Amino acid sequence: MNMKLTEFNTYLEKHSSEGTRKLYIDDLEHWLNLTTTSAELTQADAQAYIDSLTRLSPSTIAINAHAIMKWFKWQGKLIELDLPKVRQSDPQYLTVEEFSLALEKCVSQLETTMLIVLFDSGVRISELINLKLSDVNYVNKTITVTRKGGRVDVVNVSDKAINELSNWIEARNIDSERIFGEMDYRVAWEIFRTIGFRIGKHLHPHMLRHSRAIQMLIAGAPMHIVQQHLGHINMATTANIYAKFTVGDLRKQIPDWSK
């Protein structure tokens, strides 16, 4: 990491969540490593790079663009980058059979733990990989997660999730206060992509968050309870994503894994 990027990383530590900071730094480091010019980078350079990311999803391109705009702003330069439009599509989720098969195809305690805890808790992947040993309450069966913007929430989890966390912590061979060590977003994403490949599914971490929300709705949970479990600040966010689904549409699609 060059000196300027190191200074920017220090700046982000005070203004962004750890998950966001890591994403921004990774994306910026990749972009800066690709640049061959010794001249000062311009908005045109940044736009050309964003336009070249055609193989990535619109949301991933947007993260790259926001990282670059933040980088320029930190240097006192305000730029705007054109982004592909992100269409609000129906959330993807796993069926009963798909989730069961995914569990069967896990080949390590790490994979099993991450799959079950991410689904059971409904947290974001950044919130999962930043969990510390002290964030797990085995008596109350909760985990404490740091949401976007540094907000702290206590999330209920099942006996199954607590047991899997305990099994992983006992089996792991790393010395770290963080439950999953120094794992970053890209490594975590690859773990779920690999599990998905084994079951013929394009599996990504957020799909498990959607699956959990839909399961709760099937079980009859009010929308505001789903909102609280997912950590959405506004009810509108939850409703915009999930209100289109009805119990009749989804019944028997997602199992109750908390039993």
Domain locations along the chain: 3-74, 96-250
CA nearest neighbour of 138 among 165, 172, 109, 114? 165
Q: Considering the entire predicted model, what is its pTM?
A: 0.62
pLDDT of residue 235: 74
Please tell me the CATH code under which domain 96-250 is placed. Answer: 1.10.443.10
Average pLDDT estimate for 156-183: 94
Lookup result for tokens 């009010």 = 222
> From the DSSP assignment, how many helices (H) and strands (E) are in the chain?
13, 3
Lookup result for tokens 């099937």 = 218
pLDDT of residue 86: 55
Task: Report the distance separating Cα 230 and Cα 123, nearest Å.
Answer: 6
Give the helix/strand (H/E) hosting 142.
strand 142-146
Average pLDDT estimate for 4-27: 84
Give the helix/strand (H/E) hosting 242.
helix 235-242
pLDDT of residue 254: 47
Beta carbons of 61 and 104 less than 8 angstroms apart = no
Give the percent of the chain with pLDDT over 90. Answer: 43
Average pLDDT estimate for 57-72: 85
pLDDT of residue 76: 92
Q: Which CATH architecture has domain 3-74?
A: Orthogonal Bundle (1.10)
pLDDT of residue 252: 46
